Structure 1
Amino acid sequence: MSKGVLHVLKTKKELIPLVGIVSMAAAGAVSFCVYSLLSKSDVIIRKLGDSEPWENVDPTKSQKLVTINQKWQPIEELEKVKKLTK
């Protein structure tokens, strides 16, 4: 009753494309998670240490995967509030 995956794929060849597509989707999801953890500054794993890690995010660096026609300019009121609260 416990047949191996390769044995099932050899007997039912119509499952090969399905297994291939699902495997590629899973590999893509895992690779995007690893990419986000290693390269994005807004993704944080450890919760110890800095209490406000969003303050360390560079506003000039895009945090999105695709950014179209977006320019960052500081808001004067927010900068004043930030200086007053520190």
Structure 2
Amino acid sequence: MSFFQLLMKKKELVPLVLIMTFAASGALSFAVYSLRKSDVIIDRKGNPEPWETVDPTVPQKLLTINQQWKPVEELQKVRRATK
């Protein structure tokens, strides 16, 4: 018996199949969306340190109050030493 014949025979399964199809498509679309976000790094070899390409003068949040960017000297020393 095929799947559609089973659904035609047992009509009470139709809402369950529709809900499960909707939930599975939502989960799949969220997974694809999460992989395309800029926070997720898939390609480690192409851009291993993506946080260094962020412009500090452009706010990354929806609302930023009194944002002032100053380089931290200790981090700059470590950055120069590792390159």
Partner of 2:75: 82
Q: CA RMSD in A?
A: 2.7
Compare relative contact order (CA 8 Å, sep 6+) and give the higher one, 1 or 2: 1
CA change 1:56–1:20 in 2 (3 A) is farther
Q: One-letter code of the match for 2:38?
A: S
Alignment of 1:41 onto 2:38: yes
In structure 1, how many angstroms separate the alpha carbons of the residues matched to 2:3 and 2:30? 27
TM-score using structure 2 length: 0.65
CA change 1:11–1:18 in 2 (3 A) is same
> How many residues get paired?
75
- Name the SS for the 2:43 alignment partner: coil
TM-score using structure 1 length: 0.63
Q: Structure 1: which 5+ residue stretches go unaligned?
A: none
Q: Structure 2: which 5+ residue stretches go unaligned?
A: none
